[in-house]
Structures are given as structure tokens and as C-alpha cells.
């Protein structure tokens, strides 16, 4: 188990369990297709099955899990079609959040985002992917908060789990990672000048680029999986039927 495992404090138990389990799925501790061992998770978190099952329902509503009667919960897969469906919607939501944030953000909120950005850049330079990803996510959420639109926040939250997993998966290629950091530099500049139109376009482009990166990662993973199924005998390659 990773550092995400361990007893959970009783305060805000439902939210804590949901957040902890979401992070474990997003960060790959339970990969797509794997079943979640309810008994083990209850023992690990020090909780009963009731809050765990409540958390499973929430994560299923976010598209991270598939629930089957009498079969428990399984981590949902992520396909290229899913990515093509999700990212344009999230791009539109983030673009709107950027426009509204530029009109409503306070100097204090901007200073907080700037501080998060500089910490994120430091982690990028050190090649520290997990803390980089966490700060990246915080920046996007701070922009959403600055938009001050509960309806927009609810729509964003409904998709955020699957998008987080896709974003986490995608930051593999060094060139794309550097490009993403450069895009965040542009976001900060647009926020600083309160240029809502520019920030909206940057966020749309940022999500389009991420979409292509995720699809490339999925394709590479499928290719590796296909190779693993091949059996080489002398000069012939046999691919077992499913």
C-alpha cells in the first residue's frame, strides 16, 4: 500500500474516505479493471462497510468505478472514445471558469495561484511528478473557485475524477510536460492582466493538448499489451485468440 493507506480520522468520514479512495484510483494503486477489496479497504482505513460503500457510490457516479450487483466494485477503464467525449466538455467548462475568474478574482486569490504555480514549476524542474500533479490540480481548482459559480462548479466536479486520472496518466513525455508548464505560465499572465478571453483560449488549448497526450498514452499502452500477448516460436509470431 502507498502513503495513501492508513487509518482515517473520524471527522468528515464520508468525504475523507471518498477523497482517499479517489486518489488511490487516480494515482494507479488500483488500475483499470481491478476489483476493490472491500474487506481489506475497511481494515486499512479503520472503518465499517457503510461509509466505504457510500464512497463507492460517489466514485461510480463520477465514472471512476463500475458497480455490479453481488460482484462489488471494479475500476472503470478509460478509452480513446471516453477521452474524446470528456475533454471538449471539460475544456468548455474550464474556459468559462477562466473568463469568470478574470472578472471576479481578488488580489489575494491571484497571489495564492501564483505561489502554487512557482511551487509547481520547482517540482517540474526536479522531476517530482506526484507533487507537481497535485499543485497543477490545485491551480485549476483555484481558478474554478474564483469564478464563483456554483452551477459551473457542480458540473466540473461531476467530471473531475475521470479527468484527474487522465491528466495524471498523461504527464509522461518530457516534451509534453514542459509544454504544459509553459501553458500554465500563459494562464498566470492572463489572470494577472484579467484577460478573460485570452485565458479561455489558453485553457481550451491546454485541454486539447492534454487530450491528444492521453490518447497517445492509451494507444501506447494498448500496443504494449498486444505485444505481451504474442508468443514467438522460431521465426513465427502467434497471437492467441481472446
pLDDT of residue 48: 94
Residue 123 Cα distances to 17, 59, 135, 156, 193, angstroms: 27, 29, 9, 26, 26
Residue 19 domain-assigned? yes
Do the beta carbons of residue 75 and residue 65 sit within 8 Å? yes
pLDDT of residue 4: 60
Model-wide pTM > 0.95: no
Residues 91 and 122 in one domain: yes
What CATH code is carried by the domain that includes residue 59? 1.10.10.10
| 196-217 exposure pattern, b = at least 16 Cβ within 10 A, e = fewer | bebbbbbbbebbebbbebbbeb
- Domains: count for the chain: 2
pLDDT of residue 100: 98
Residues 53 and 91 in one domain: no
Q: Which three cell numbers mark 30?
A: 488500483
Residues 205 and 179 in one domain: yes
pLDDT of residue 7: 60
Residues 90, 203: Cα–Cα separation, whole Å: 10
Residues 29 and 92 in one domain: no
Residue 142 domain-assigned? yes
Residues 122 and 94 in one domain: yes
Low-confidence ranges of the chain (pLDDT < 50): 9-10, 232-242
Q: Which of 62, 83, 82, 89 is nearest to 152 (CA)?
A: 89
pLDDT of residue 59: 93
Domain final residue pick, 21, 54, 75 = 75
103 lies in which domain range?
80-215
Query: pLDDT by residue (tens digit) across 202-237?
Result: 999 999 998 988 888 888 766 665 666 555 444 444
Amino acid at each position: 500500500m502507498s502513503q495513501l493507506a492508513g487509518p482515517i480520522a473520524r471527522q468528515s468520514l464520508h468525504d475523507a474516505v471518498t477523497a482517499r479512495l479517489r486518489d488511490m484510483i487516480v494515482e494507479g494503486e488500483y488500475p483499470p479493471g481491478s476489483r476493490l477489496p472491500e474487506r481489506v479497504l475497511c481494515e486499512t482505513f479503520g472503518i465499517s462497510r457503510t461509509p466505504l460503500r457510500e464512497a463507492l457510490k460517489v466514485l461510480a457516479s463520477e465514472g471512476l468505478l463500475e458497480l455490479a450487483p453481488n460482484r462489488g466494485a471494479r475500476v472503470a477503464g478509460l478509452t480513446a472514445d471516453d477521452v474524446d467525449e470528456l475533454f471538449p466538455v471539460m475544456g468548455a467548462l474550464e474556459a468559462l471558469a477562466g473568463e469568470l475568474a478574470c472578472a471576479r478574482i481578488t488580489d489575494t486569490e491571484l497571489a495564492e495561484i501564483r505561489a502554487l504555480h512557482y511551487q509547481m514549476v520547482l517540482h517540474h524542474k526536479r522531476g517530482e511528478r506526484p507533487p507537481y500533479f497535485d499543485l497543477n490540480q490545485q491551480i485549476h481548482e483555484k481558478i474554478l473557485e474564483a469564478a464563483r459559480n456554483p452551477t459551473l462548479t457542480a458540473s466540473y466536479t461531476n467530471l473531475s475524477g475521470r479527468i484527474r486520472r487522465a491528466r495524471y496518466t498523461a504527464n509522461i513525455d518530457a516534451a509534453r510536460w514542459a509544454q504544459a508548464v509553459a501553458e500554465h505560465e500563459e494562464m498566470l499572465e492572463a489572470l494577472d492582466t484579467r484577460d478573460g478571453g485570452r485565458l479561455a483560449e489558453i485553457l481550451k488549448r491546454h485541454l486539447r493538448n492534454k487530450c491528444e497526450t492521453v490518447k497517445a498514452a492509451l494507444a501506447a499502452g494498448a500496443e504494449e499489451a498486444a505485444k505481451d500477448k504474442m508468443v514467438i516460436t522460431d521465426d513465427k509470431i502467434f497471437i492467441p485468440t481472446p
